[in-house]
Structure 1
Protein backbone atom coordinates (compact mmCIF):
# COMPACT_ATOMS: atom_id res chain seq x y z
CA UNK A 1 0.00 0.00 0.00
CA UNK A 2 1.65 3.27 -1.13
CA UNK A 3 2.13 5.92 1.56
CA UNK A 4 -0.21 8.89 1.65
CA UNK A 5 1.16 12.05 0.03
CA UNK A 6 2.00 15.00 2.26
CA UNK A 7 -0.90 17.25 3.24
CA UNK A 8 0.34 20.10 1.04
CA UNK A 9 0.42 17.84 -2.01
CA UNK A 10 -3.17 16.70 -1.67
CA UNK A 11 -6.03 18.03 -3.73
CA UNK A 12 -6.60 21.70 -3.03
CA UNK A 13 -3.01 22.36 -1.95
CA UNK A 14 -3.97 22.47 1.73
CA UNK A 15 -4.80 26.18 1.51
CA UNK A 16 -7.96 27.39 3.15
CA UNK A 17 -10.13 29.92 1.43
CA UNK A 18 -9.47 33.38 2.79
CA UNK A 19 -12.48 35.48 3.72
CA UNK A 20 -12.64 38.85 2.05
CA UNK A 21 -12.98 41.79 4.44
CA UNK A 22 -16.45 43.34 4.32
CA UNK A 23 -17.63 46.85 5.07
CA UNK A 24 -20.18 45.68 7.62
CA UNK A 25 -19.66 43.89 10.92
CA UNK A 26 -22.31 41.67 12.46
CA UNK A 27 -23.18 40.87 16.07
CA UNK A 28 -25.48 38.05 17.15
CA UNK A 29 -27.69 39.35 19.94
CA UNK A 30 -29.19 36.02 20.93
CA UNK A 31 -30.02 32.51 19.74
CA UNK A 32 -33.12 31.06 21.40
CA UNK A 33 -34.96 27.79 21.03
CA UNK A 34 -38.59 28.32 20.06
CA UNK A 35 -41.40 25.77 19.98
CA UNK A 36 -44.46 25.66 17.76
CA UNK A 37 -47.36 23.34 18.47
CA UNK A 38 -48.67 21.65 15.31
CA UNK A 39 -51.10 18.84 14.63
CA UNK A 40 -48.43 16.15 14.88
CA UNK A 41 -46.89 17.51 18.07
CA UNK A 42 -44.30 20.18 18.89
CA UNK A 43 -41.84 21.50 16.35
CA UNK A 44 -38.65 22.96 17.80
CA UNK A 45 -36.50 25.46 15.92
CA UNK A 46 -33.85 28.10 16.65
CA UNK A 47 -34.40 31.84 16.37
CA UNK A 48 -31.42 34.16 15.87
CA UNK A 49 -31.32 37.95 16.25
CA UNK A 50 -28.49 39.68 14.35
CA UNK A 51 -27.43 43.35 14.21
CA UNK A 52 -25.27 44.50 11.30
CA UNK A 53 -23.69 47.91 10.68
CA UNK A 54 -20.73 49.77 9.23
CA UNK A 55 -20.25 52.16 12.21
CA UNK A 56 -20.68 55.09 9.82
CA UNK A 57 -24.42 55.67 10.06
CA UNK A 58 -25.80 52.42 8.64
CA UNK A 59 -27.37 49.74 10.81
CA UNK A 60 -29.84 46.90 10.36
CA UNK A 61 -31.71 44.38 12.50
CA UNK A 62 -32.87 40.95 11.36
CA UNK A 63 -34.29 37.71 12.73
CA UNK A 64 -34.19 34.21 11.29
CA UNK A 65 -35.58 30.79 12.22
CA UNK A 66 -34.26 27.38 11.21
CA UNK A 67 -33.77 23.87 12.55
CA UNK A 68 -30.02 24.57 12.90
CA UNK A 69 -28.29 27.47 14.61
CA UNK A 70 -25.99 28.24 11.68
CA UNK A 71 -28.88 28.42 9.22
CA UNK A 72 -30.87 30.67 11.57
CA UNK A 73 -27.95 33.11 11.92
CA UNK A 74 -27.49 33.15 8.15
CA UNK A 75 -31.17 33.99 7.60
CA UNK A 76 -31.04 36.71 10.25
CA UNK A 77 -27.94 38.27 8.66
CA UNK A 78 -29.61 38.35 5.24
CA UNK A 79 -32.73 39.94 6.75
CA UNK A 80 -30.62 42.57 8.54
CA UNK A 81 -28.90 43.54 5.28
CA UNK A 82 -32.27 44.01 3.58
CA UNK A 83 -33.58 46.14 6.46
CA UNK A 84 -30.58 48.50 6.59
CA UNK A 85 -31.31 52.12 7.57
CA UNK A 86 -29.23 55.30 7.63
CA UNK A 87 -29.18 57.70 10.56
CA UNK A 88 -27.74 61.23 10.92
CA UNK A 89 -24.70 61.54 13.19
CA UNK A 90 -23.51 64.98 14.33
CA UNK A 91 -20.11 65.13 16.07
CA UNK A 92 -20.28 61.44 17.01
CA UNK A 93 -23.69 61.82 18.67
CA UNK A 94 -27.36 62.04 17.70
CA UNK A 95 -28.69 65.43 16.51
CA UNK A 96 -31.52 65.68 19.05
CA UNK A 97 -33.32 63.80 21.81
CA UNK A 98 -35.98 61.22 20.98
CA UNK A 99 -38.38 59.06 22.97
CA UNK A 100 -40.54 56.20 21.71
CA UNK A 101 -42.80 53.50 23.13
CA UNK A 102 -43.30 50.18 21.34
CA UNK A 103 -45.22 47.26 22.86
CA UNK A 104 -43.97 46.95 26.47
CA UNK A 105 -40.72 48.89 25.95
CA UNK A 106 -39.99 52.60 26.15
CA UNK A 107 -36.62 54.11 25.19
CA UNK A 108 -35.27 57.64 25.53
CA UNK A 109 -32.11 58.85 23.74
CA UNK A 110 -30.28 62.10 24.51
CA UNK A 111 -27.26 63.73 22.79
CA UNK A 112 -24.03 63.75 24.79
CA UNK A 113 -20.74 65.65 24.82
CA UNK A 114 -17.51 64.19 23.41
CA UNK A 115 -15.93 61.71 25.80
CA UNK A 116 -19.20 60.57 27.35
CA UNK A 117 -19.33 57.23 25.57
CA UNK A 118 -22.36 55.03 24.99
CA UNK A 119 -24.41 55.09 28.19
CA UNK A 120 -26.67 52.17 27.35
CA UNK A 121 -26.91 48.45 27.82
CA UNK A 122 -28.20 45.31 26.20
CA UNK A 123 -29.51 45.40 22.64
CA UNK A 124 -29.60 49.22 22.61
CA UNK A 125 -25.85 49.47 23.21
CA UNK A 126 -25.05 46.98 20.43
CA UNK A 127 -27.24 48.82 17.91
CA UNK A 128 -25.80 52.25 18.78
CA UNK A 129 -22.26 50.89 18.52
CA UNK A 130 -22.89 49.27 15.14
CA UNK A 131 -24.50 52.49 13.89
CA UNK A 132 -21.39 54.51 14.77
CA UNK A 133 -22.78 56.63 17.62
CA UNK A 134 -19.94 57.19 20.10
CA UNK A 135 -21.51 59.56 22.65
CA UNK A 136 -25.12 59.20 23.77
CA UNK A 137 -27.23 59.04 26.92
CA UNK A 138 -30.14 56.61 27.12
CA UNK A 139 -32.80 55.31 29.45
CA UNK A 140 -34.85 52.14 29.01
CA UNK A 141 -38.17 51.41 30.68
CA UNK A 142 -40.36 48.32 30.70
CA UNK A 143 -39.58 44.88 29.32
CA UNK A 144 -36.14 43.31 29.09
CA UNK A 145 -37.02 41.24 26.02
CA UNK A 146 -34.06 41.56 23.63
CA UNK A 147 -36.10 41.42 20.44
CA UNK A 148 -38.61 44.05 21.56
CA UNK A 149 -35.85 46.34 22.84
CA UNK A 150 -33.91 45.93 19.59
CA UNK A 151 -36.99 46.75 17.51
CA UNK A 152 -37.72 49.79 19.69
CA UNK A 153 -34.12 50.98 19.32
CA UNK A 154 -34.32 50.81 15.52
CA UNK A 155 -37.62 52.71 15.55
CA UNK A 156 -36.06 55.38 17.78
CA UNK A 157 -33.14 55.83 15.36
CA UNK A 158 -35.59 56.12 12.46
CA UNK A 159 -37.17 59.13 14.19
CA UNK A 160 -33.92 61.11 14.09
CA UNK A 161 -33.94 64.11 11.75
CA UNK A 162 -30.80 65.82 10.52
CA UNK A 163 -28.29 66.19 7.70
CA UNK A 164 -27.26 62.85 6.24
CA UNK A 165 -24.05 63.14 4.23
CA UNK A 166 -24.36 61.28 0.91
CA UNK A 167 -21.90 58.48 0.20
CA UNK A 168 -19.48 58.36 -2.72
CA UNK A 169 -21.78 56.04 -4.66
CA UNK A 170 -24.72 58.40 -4.19
CA UNK A 171 -22.69 61.41 -5.30
CA UNK A 172 -21.70 59.50 -8.43
CA UNK A 173 -25.37 59.10 -9.38
CA UNK A 174 -26.00 62.85 -9.15
CA UNK A 175 -24.76 63.73 -12.64
CA UNK A 176 -24.76 67.44 -13.40
CA UNK A 177 -25.14 68.66 -16.98
CA UNK A 178 -22.54 71.38 -17.56
CA UNK A 179 -24.62 72.95 -20.33
CA UNK A 180 -27.73 73.93 -18.37
CA UNK A 181 -26.55 73.18 -14.83
CA UNK A 182 -29.51 70.90 -14.06
CA UNK A 183 -29.35 67.66 -12.12
CA UNK A 184 -30.12 64.70 -14.37
CA UNK A 185 -30.37 61.97 -11.76
CA UNK A 186 -30.25 61.74 -8.01
CA UNK A 187 -30.05 58.63 -5.89
CA UNK A 188 -33.31 57.58 -4.26
CA UNK A 189 -31.47 57.07 -0.97
CA UNK A 190 -30.44 60.73 -0.89
CA UNK A 191 -33.94 61.94 -1.73
CA UNK A 192 -35.49 59.71 0.93
CA UNK A 193 -33.01 60.79 3.62
CA UNK A 194 -34.34 62.92 6.44
CA UNK A 195 -33.30 66.53 6.85
CA UNK A 196 -31.53 68.77 4.36
CA UNK A 197 -29.37 67.38 1.58
CA UNK A 198 -27.44 69.84 -0.58
CA UNK A 199 -26.78 68.89 -4.19
CA UNK A 200 -25.51 70.92 -7.14
CA UNK A 201 -28.19 72.26 -9.44
CA UNK A 202 -30.64 75.13 -9.78
CA UNK A 203 -31.61 77.26 -6.78
CA UNK A 204 -34.96 75.63 -6.12
CA UNK A 205 -36.68 73.73 -3.35
CA UNK A 206 -37.67 70.09 -3.79
CA UNK A 207 -40.27 68.34 -1.66
CA UNK A 208 -39.65 64.69 -0.83
CA UNK A 209 -41.37 62.72 1.89
CA UNK A 210 -42.80 65.86 3.49
CA UNK A 211 -39.34 67.38 4.05
CA UNK A 212 -37.81 70.39 2.32
CA UNK A 213 -34.63 69.75 0.36
CA UNK A 214 -32.75 72.89 -0.70
CA UNK A 215 -30.56 72.87 -3.81
CA UNK A 216 -27.67 75.33 -4.11
CA UNK A 217 -26.45 76.42 -7.53
CA UNK A 218 -22.83 75.76 -8.46
CA UNK A 219 -22.27 79.41 -9.38
CA UNK A 220 -23.28 80.46 -5.85
CA UNK A 221 -20.60 78.21 -4.40
CA UNK A 222 -17.97 79.70 -6.73
CA UNK A 223 -19.08 83.21 -5.74
CA UNK A 224 -18.59 82.41 -2.05
CA UNK A 225 -15.10 81.07 -2.80
CA UNK A 226 -14.18 84.30 -4.64
CA UNK A 227 -15.40 86.45 -1.73
CA UNK A 228 -13.40 84.36 0.74
CA UNK A 229 -10.29 84.58 -1.46
CA UNK A 230 -10.56 88.39 -1.80
CA UNK A 231 -10.95 88.73 1.96
CA UNK A 232 -7.68 86.89 2.50
CA UNK A 233 -5.87 89.15 0.01
CA UNK A 234 -7.02 92.25 1.90
Structure 2
Protein backbone atom coordinates (compact mmCIF):
# COMPACT_ATOMS: atom_id res chain seq x y z
CA UNK A 1 0.00 0.00 0.00
CA UNK A 2 2.82 2.41 0.87
CA UNK A 3 4.43 1.73 -2.50
CA UNK A 4 1.22 2.71 -4.32
CA UNK A 5 0.80 5.87 -2.20
CA UNK A 6 4.34 6.92 -3.11
CA UNK A 7 3.49 6.68 -6.80
CA UNK A 8 0.20 8.58 -6.36
CA UNK A 9 2.02 11.54 -4.77
CA UNK A 10 4.12 12.09 -7.89
CA UNK A 11 4.24 15.55 -9.45
CA UNK A 12 1.88 16.28 -12.35
CA UNK A 13 4.03 18.00 -15.02
CA UNK A 14 3.05 21.57 -15.93
CA UNK A 15 4.74 24.16 -18.11
CA UNK A 16 8.10 23.32 -19.66
CA UNK A 17 9.60 20.47 -17.59
CA UNK A 18 11.79 18.90 -20.27
CA UNK A 19 13.70 21.99 -21.35
CA UNK A 20 12.90 21.51 -25.06
CA UNK A 21 11.07 24.84 -25.39
CA UNK A 22 7.58 23.33 -25.70
CA UNK A 23 4.62 24.62 -23.70
CA UNK A 24 2.40 21.98 -22.13
CA UNK A 25 -1.21 22.34 -20.99
CA UNK A 26 -3.47 19.78 -19.42
CA UNK A 27 -6.99 20.00 -20.87
CA UNK A 28 -8.85 17.33 -18.88
CA UNK A 29 -8.38 14.45 -16.46
CA UNK A 30 -11.13 11.87 -16.34
CA UNK A 31 -11.55 9.28 -13.57
CA UNK A 32 -12.89 5.99 -14.86
CA UNK A 33 -14.02 2.91 -12.96
CA UNK A 34 -14.05 -0.72 -14.01
CA UNK A 35 -16.35 -2.91 -11.92
CA UNK A 36 -15.06 -6.45 -11.38
CA UNK A 37 -16.11 -9.34 -9.17
CA UNK A 38 -13.86 -8.20 -6.32
CA UNK A 39 -14.87 -4.54 -6.41
CA UNK A 40 -13.92 -1.50 -8.44
CA UNK A 41 -10.69 -0.71 -10.29
CA UNK A 42 -9.94 3.00 -10.61
CA UNK A 43 -8.14 4.44 -13.59
CA UNK A 44 -7.41 7.87 -15.05
CA UNK A 45 -7.46 9.27 -18.59
CA UNK A 46 -5.63 12.54 -19.35
CA UNK A 47 -5.97 14.87 -22.35
CA UNK A 48 -3.13 17.32 -23.01
CA UNK A 49 -1.91 19.75 -25.66
CA UNK A 50 1.69 20.73 -26.42
CA UNK A 51 2.96 23.60 -28.59
CA UNK A 52 6.09 25.55 -29.41
CA UNK A 53 4.49 29.01 -29.40
CA UNK A 54 5.21 29.45 -33.11
CA UNK A 55 2.37 27.59 -34.85
CA UNK A 56 3.12 23.95 -33.96
CA UNK A 57 0.65 22.10 -31.76
CA UNK A 58 -0.06 18.50 -30.78
CA UNK A 59 -2.73 16.65 -28.82
CA UNK A 60 -2.30 13.51 -26.77
CA UNK A 61 -4.29 11.26 -24.50
CA UNK A 62 -2.94 8.84 -21.93
CA UNK A 63 -4.45 6.26 -19.61
CA UNK A 64 -3.08 4.76 -16.41
CA UNK A 65 -3.94 3.79 -12.85
CA UNK A 66 -2.14 6.92 -11.54
CA UNK A 67 -2.68 10.53 -12.64
CA UNK A 68 0.99 11.52 -13.18
CA UNK A 69 1.65 8.47 -15.37
CA UNK A 70 -1.47 9.16 -17.47
CA UNK A 71 -0.46 12.82 -17.90
CA UNK A 72 3.09 11.85 -18.89
CA UNK A 73 1.81 9.36 -21.48
CA UNK A 74 -0.49 12.05 -22.89
CA UNK A 75 2.37 14.59 -23.08
CA UNK A 76 4.59 12.07 -24.89
CA UNK A 77 1.86 11.31 -27.44
CA UNK A 78 1.22 15.03 -27.98
CA UNK A 79 4.94 15.59 -28.70
CA UNK A 80 4.90 12.77 -31.27
CA UNK A 81 1.74 13.99 -33.05
CA UNK A 82 2.53 17.67 -33.57
CA UNK A 83 1.25 19.56 -36.63
CA UNK A 84 2.40 22.88 -38.11
CA UNK A 85 -0.16 25.65 -38.68
CA UNK A 86 0.56 28.80 -40.72
CA UNK A 87 -0.20 31.92 -38.69
CA UNK A 88 -0.37 35.58 -39.71
CA UNK A 89 0.90 38.00 -37.04
CA UNK A 90 -0.38 35.89 -34.14
CA UNK A 91 -3.80 35.17 -35.65
CA UNK A 92 -5.40 33.11 -38.44
CA UNK A 93 -5.43 33.91 -42.17
CA UNK A 94 -9.20 33.55 -42.60
CA UNK A 95 -12.30 32.25 -40.74
CA UNK A 96 -12.48 28.48 -40.54
CA UNK A 97 -14.83 25.79 -39.21
CA UNK A 98 -13.68 22.46 -37.76
CA UNK A 99 -15.81 19.42 -37.01
CA UNK A 100 -15.30 16.21 -35.09
CA UNK A 101 -18.19 14.05 -33.94
CA UNK A 102 -20.98 16.32 -32.66
CA UNK A 103 -18.53 19.14 -31.89
CA UNK A 104 -18.34 22.06 -34.29
CA UNK A 105 -15.84 24.88 -33.79
CA UNK A 106 -15.88 28.29 -35.50
CA UNK A 107 -12.63 30.32 -35.47
CA UNK A 108 -11.97 33.72 -37.00
CA UNK A 109 -9.00 36.09 -37.02
CA UNK A 110 -9.10 39.12 -34.73
CA UNK A 111 -7.39 42.50 -34.78
CA UNK A 112 -4.37 43.31 -32.62
CA UNK A 113 -5.25 43.75 -28.94
CA UNK A 114 -8.34 41.53 -28.99
CA UNK A 115 -6.75 38.62 -27.13
CA UNK A 116 -7.89 35.01 -27.08
CA UNK A 117 -11.68 34.92 -26.90
CA UNK A 118 -12.30 31.19 -26.67
CA UNK A 119 -13.41 28.76 -24.02
CA UNK A 120 -11.82 25.81 -22.29
CA UNK A 121 -9.99 23.35 -24.54
CA UNK A 122 -9.75 25.80 -27.47
CA UNK A 123 -8.06 28.42 -25.28
CA UNK A 124 -5.40 25.89 -24.21
CA UNK A 125 -4.61 25.06 -27.85
CA UNK A 126 -4.30 28.72 -28.88
CA UNK A 127 -2.09 29.57 -25.88
CA UNK A 128 0.43 26.79 -26.52
CA UNK A 129 0.60 27.34 -30.29
CA UNK A 130 1.26 31.08 -30.05
CA UNK A 131 -2.02 32.63 -31.23
CA UNK A 132 -2.52 36.00 -29.52
CA UNK A 133 -5.69 37.37 -31.17
CA UNK A 134 -8.61 35.13 -32.12
CA UNK A 135 -12.38 34.80 -31.78
CA UNK A 136 -13.63 31.22 -31.38
CA UNK A 137 -16.94 29.58 -30.58
CA UNK A 138 -17.82 25.98 -29.78
CA UNK A 139 -21.16 24.84 -31.22
CA UNK A 140 -22.80 21.53 -30.36
CA UNK A 141 -20.94 19.05 -28.16
CA UNK A 142 -18.58 20.47 -25.53
CA UNK A 143 -16.80 17.16 -24.89
CA UNK A 144 -13.14 18.26 -24.43
CA UNK A 145 -11.73 15.48 -26.63
CA UNK A 146 -14.09 16.27 -29.53
CA UNK A 147 -13.57 20.04 -29.17
CA UNK A 148 -9.77 19.63 -29.32
CA UNK A 149 -10.00 17.35 -32.36
CA UNK A 150 -12.45 19.72 -34.11
CA UNK A 151 -10.12 22.67 -33.44
CA UNK A 152 -7.13 20.81 -34.87
CA UNK A 153 -9.15 19.71 -37.94
CA UNK A 154 -10.13 23.32 -38.57
CA UNK A 155 -6.57 24.59 -38.17
CA UNK A 156 -5.27 21.93 -40.57
CA UNK A 157 -7.91 22.91 -43.15
CA UNK A 158 -6.77 26.55 -43.14
CA UNK A 159 -4.82 27.69 -46.22
CA UNK A 160 -2.31 30.52 -46.43
CA UNK A 161 -2.70 33.13 -49.21
CA UNK A 162 0.34 31.63 -50.98
CA UNK A 163 -1.32 28.18 -51.11
CA UNK A 164 -4.59 29.64 -52.43
CA UNK A 165 -2.72 31.69 -55.05
CA UNK A 166 -0.81 28.60 -56.22
CA UNK A 167 -4.06 26.60 -56.56
CA UNK A 168 -5.74 29.35 -58.59
CA UNK A 169 -2.70 30.20 -60.68
CA UNK A 170 -2.65 33.82 -59.52
CA UNK A 171 -0.24 35.99 -57.57
CA UNK A 172 -0.59 36.56 -53.83
CA UNK A 173 -1.29 40.26 -54.50
CA UNK A 174 -4.30 39.36 -56.68
CA UNK A 175 -5.66 37.03 -54.00
CA UNK A 176 -5.25 39.63 -51.26
CA UNK A 177 -6.81 42.36 -53.42
CA UNK A 178 -3.62 44.43 -53.50
CA UNK A 179 -3.14 44.28 -57.29
CA UNK A 180 -3.98 47.45 -59.22
Tell me whether 1:195 sits opposite 2:132 in the alignment: no
Deviation at residue 44 of structure 1 after TM alignment: 2.4
Contact 2:51–2:129 (CA under 8 A) maintained in structure 1: yes
What is the CA deviation profile of residues 97-149 of structure 1, one whole-angstrom value per residue up to 9, with x for unaligned ones? 11123212111111111111111110001101111111111111112221111
Q: Aligned equivalents of 1:53 and 1:33: distance in 2?
A: 25
Unaligned runs of 5+ in 1: 1-18, 164-193, 197-204, 206-210, 213-234
Tell me whether 1:126 sits opposite 2:124 in the alignment: yes
2:172 aligned partner: none
Unaligned runs of 5+ in 2: 1-16, 169-180
2:26 to 25, 28, 35: 28
Give the secondary-structure state (helix, strand or coil) at the position aligned to 1:140: strand
Tell me whether 1:93 sits opposite 2:61 in the alignment: no
Q: What is the root-mean-square deviation of aligned Cα atoms in Å?
A: 2.6
Q: Aligned equivalents of 2:37 and 2:149: distance in 1?
A: 31
Give the secondary-structure state (helix, strand or coil) at the position aligned to 1:195: helix
Q: Aligned equivalents of 1:70 and 1:26: distance in 2?
A: 14
2:146 aligned partner: 148
Tell me whether 1:53 sits opposite 2:51 in the alignment: yes
Tell me whether 1:116 sits opposite 2:114 in the alignment: yes
Deviation at residue 90 of structure 1 after TM alignment: 0.7
Moved over 2 A (4+): 19-22, 35-44
1:174 aligned partner: none
Q: Larger RCO: Structure 1 or Structure 2 (Cα < 8 Å, ≥ 6 residues apart)?
A: 2
1:64 aligned partner: 62
Deviation at residue 77 of structure 1 after TM alignment: 0.5
TM-score, normalised with respect to structure 2: 0.76
TM-score, normalised with respect to structure 1: 0.59
1:139 aligned partner: 137
2:101 aligned partner: 103
Q: Aligned equivalents of 1:103 and 1:149: distance in 2?
A: 9
Deviation at residue 42 of structure 1 after TM alignment: 4.6
Number of positions where the alignment pairs a residue of Structure 1 with one of Structure 2: 153
- Higher-Rg member (1/2): 1
1:188 aligned partner: none
Q: Aligned equivalents of 1:77 and 1:38: distance in 2?
A: 30
Question: Taking structure 1 as reference, are residues 39 and 157 closer, same or farther at Cα in structure 2, changes over 3 Å only?
Answer: farther
1:83 aligned partner: 81
